[in-house]
Amino acid sequence: MLNELNSVIDYIEDHLTGDLSLEIVSEYTGVSDYHFKKIFFYLSGLTLSEYIKNRKLSEANKDLLNGEKVTNVAYKYGYQSIDGFTRAFKKWSGFLPSDVIKKGISKSFPKLSFVITVKGGIAMEFRIEDKPAFNLAGISRRVPMQFEGINNEIVKLAESITDKQKEEMHSLQNIEPYEIVNASYDADANFLKEEGYLTHLIGVLTTKRQVSNLLEKVPVEACTWAIFPNEGPFPSTLQETMAKIYSEWLPSSNYELINAPTFSFTKMDEHKKDYAYSEVWIPVRKK
C-alpha cells in the first residue's frame, strides 16, 4: 500500500498543471476512491483536495518568485480568474501574489512521502474471520462523506426508524454479529473532492432472503473480514480505532481492502456514561 500511495503522490506531482485523472486511484491502489481518500486522510491529516491545493499554491509561489506574471500563474494552476487565484493564495499564505513579486516573501508546502513509522510499540487487537454470503437488511440514505465528527444525516436516519422496522430487523437477525450495525458503501467516485455522497445503512445481518418492503436488502458476497474490537470513551475510542486501521494496520499488514460494505456496531455501557464496546468490520483479502 505504501508504494501505491507514493505512486499516487508522484502522479499528482506530475500533473499539478494538467488533468488529474479520476482513474488514478483504482489504477495505483486497487481500492475504491472512498477508501483511498480515507487512508490518505488518516495518514497525512489532510483531505486529498487540501493536499493538491496546497501543492499547487506552493508551486505557484515558486513561479512568482522566478518572475512569472500573476495572470500566467493563475491560469497555469487551473484558476478561472485572477481574483479567484488571489483570494485562494492570500487565504493559504497570508499575503498577496504581488507581495511575492515585489518583496520576495514566500511560503512553501513540500511534496509528501509515506513511510512506515512504528509508534509506541502498542499492539492493535484484531481477528480475521471468513464469513459466508449474507444480506444487510435495514434502512438507508445517501449521506455526505465525512471522515471526522458527527454526521447529522446519519443521526436523522437513526431517528427515522419506526417500531415496525425495528421488529422486522430483530426477526431477520440470524448471523453474527447479532447487533444493529452501521454499514457504508457505494461512495461517489470523486477523486478531487470530499463533498461526495455514500450510502449509509442501519440494520442487521441475515441469511434470510424474504425481506418486506419496509426494509432494504443489500447482498454481501462471502469474503474475509478483519475485525477490530475496541472499548473506551465513546465516540473517541471508535474514531481512533478507525484512524489506526487506515493509517497503521492496513499499510503494514498482508491484507488489502476489497469493494464491499464496511460496518461497525456499538454497545453502550449501562453503568458508565459515554463508554462503549465497539467492533469495526473491514472486508479484506490477502495480498
- Strands 216-220 and 262-268, by their bridges, are unpaired
Q: Which residue has the cell 440494520?
A: 203
Q: Which residue has the cell 513540500?
A: 110
Q: Which residue has the cell 502522479?
A: 11
CA distance 265 to 280: 7
Please list, in sequence order, all residues whose beta carbon lies within 8 angstroms of the beta carbon of residue 80, skipping any fewer than 6 positions away: none
* 194-201 average pLDDT score: 81
The domain locations on the chain are 2-103, 127-286
Q: ω before 283 within 30° of 0 (cis)?
A: no
Quick one: pLDDT at residue 224? 95
pLDDT tier for residue 118 given thresholds of 50, 70 and 90: very low
Distances (CA, A) of 202 to 83, 148, 257, 274: 45, 19, 22, 21
Q: Could you tell me which residues are beta bridge partners of residue 143?
A: 198
CA distance 151 to 182: 12
Is 108's pLDDT higher than 70? Answer: yes
Is 93's pLDDT higher than 90? Answer: yes
- Strand ranges for 187-245 from DSSP E: 197-206, 216-220, 223-233
Quick one: pLDDT at residue 244? 86
Q: 127 or 18, which is more confident?
A: 127
* 173-182 average pLDDT score: 94
- Strands 223-233 and 275-286, by their bridges, are antiparallel
- Residues 222-276 have pLDDT tens digits of 999 999 999 999 888 888 888 888 878 887 788 888 889 999 999 998 888 889 9
**What is 127-286's CATH topology?**
Multidrug-efflux Transporter 1 Regulator Bmrr; Chain A (3.20.80)
**CATH 1.10.10.60 for domain 2-103:** yes
Same fold, 2-103 and 127-286: no
CA distance 155 to 264: 15
Quick one: pLDDT at residue 203? 97
Quick one: pLDDT at residue 23? 59
Quick one: pLDDT at residue 121? 46
In the chain, % of residues over pLDDT 70: 88
Quick one: pLDDT at residue 90? 94
CA distance 103 to 121: 48
Query: Which of 86-90, 118-122, 131-135, 155-159 has the weakest average pLDDT?
Result: 118-122
In the chain, % of residues over pLDDT 90: 51
- Residues 28-41 have pLDDT tens digits of 666 667 777 778 88
Q: 113 or 233, which is more confident?
A: 233
Quick one: pLDDT at residue 120? 47
| Cβ atoms 106, 61 nearer than 8 A | yes
Strand, helix or coil for residue 181: strand
Q: Which residue has the cell 477508501?
A: 35
Neighbours of 4 (CB within 10 A): 19
* 214-219 average pLDDT score: 95
Query: Which of 6-20, 89-103, 172-186 has the weakest average pLDDT?
Result: 6-20
Is 192's pLDDT higher than 90? Answer: no
Please list, in sequence order, all residues whose beta carbon lies within 8 angstroms of the beta carbon of residue 195, skipping any fewer than 6 positions away: 144, 145
| Cell numbers given for 148 | 471526522
Q: 229 or 20, which is more confident?
A: 229
Write down the mean pLDDT value for the chain: 86
* pTM of structure: 0.71
| Cell numbers given for 46 | 489532510
